[in-house]
Amino acid sequence: MSMKIRTLSLFTGGGGLDLGFSAAGFSIDLAIELDPYSCKTLEINENKKDFYNKTKVLNKDIKKVTTKEIKKEIGLENNSDKIDLIIGGPPCQAFSVFGKRCGLDDPRGNLIWDYLRIVKELKPAVFIFENVAGLKTIHNGELYIKLIEELSCDGLYTVSDHNYEVANYGIPQFRNRIFFIGVKDGRRIPPMIQTHGEDGSLFELSPYVTVGKVLRNLPEPGNQSNLHNHKGRLHSNRIIDRYKNLKYGERDSKTRINKLNPNRPSYTIIVGSDKGGGKGHVHPYTPREVTPRESARLQTFPDWWEFYGNGRHVIRQVGNAVPPLFAGLLAAHVKKHVFHEKQIPSYDDLINTLGLDFLK
């Protein structure tokens, strides 16, 4: 029988990590998130599926959350039970290659130390820290070296870090992220083995999952669609004409977004700046930007997962997330190498559990 792995989620956002880990059998006891729209998203999806039905959501600034409060919220204050796993990715804009790369000079960058504070005080068996790959190079690599040292918590944890291009694992999007995994018992966690790649690869890899596969059979956005968050931006005729003339992979000079190639994974879904929401990329067949729901599919969020808020709020939740399917694969990897479970879900198992019919 699979053990109950009690998990605390920090900086939860729209729920990508939580959804994937839940689908892989983890118990997300508490999710802490500052953004009220993201919290509402987590709440309205509660109990829609058997595997995601026990999470408690705390809408609060992480800087004001104490570990005493966390224990009280999940009923640990009066017994010897412990949190087994902490997952989360502090806001990454301070380290992103798309941003100004201010690092620890950016207030968002300093939230790293609040993640560390909670890890050091709760001392879970394992933690997973996700961020953009640019974190490794900012400040000439000094931040990365300092972070590895701090994550070890004075030698309590052995920290493995791996860069993953999620398209190499069957996700229909190019998205490069780094994952730090800290384990108490001194073991280093091996990287996941790549499963997908270019057609005709010398290795025995499955072909990339493409934009065309994911977006097929979707109705055009509008009032007739019953899909959540499938309402697009209104474009002027001038923009429509520009989008019509774009070739696959070409960037529009004004909106600075690319036309998706139906035979390739998507470009990275981005969130925009703090002053405004991000845009979807240009649809491969229709001269318009993809809708938030189409972006969510490219992130492997199932269609039943409803995002709360208007288009700007939704695309920020989608763009900030770890793709749930990739999160599930990582969770299965952790189950095997940290918690020694023999029966772990496969790629196809996770597709079925999450309800990602558009990937079949």
Residues with Cβ within 8 Å of residue 117, at least 6 apart in sequence:
none
The DSSP line for 273-306 is -TTS---PPBPSSSSSBPPHHHHHHHTT--TT-P
92 in catalytic set? yes
Provide the 8-state DSSP code for 85: E
Q: Taking a C-beta distance cutoff of 8 angstroms, is the pair 213, 294 a contact?
A: no
Coil, helix or strand at residue 334 = helix
Cα distances (angstroms) measured from residue 190 to each of 40, 55, 67, 186, 205: 36, 29, 30, 13, 19
Let me know if 204 is exposed, middle or buried by CB neighbors in 10 A (0-12, 13-18, 19+).
Answer: exposed
Spatial separation of the C-alpha atoms in residues 95 and 108, rounded to whole Å: 9
Coil, helix or strand at residue 178 = strand
Rounded to the nearest 10 degrees, the angle between the axes of helix 16-23 and helix 347-354 is: 110
Strand 6-10 and strand 85-88: the pairing is parallel
Q: Which residue out of 39, 92, 102, 153 is catalytically annotated?
A: 92
- Report, as residue numbers or ranges, the catalytic residues: 92
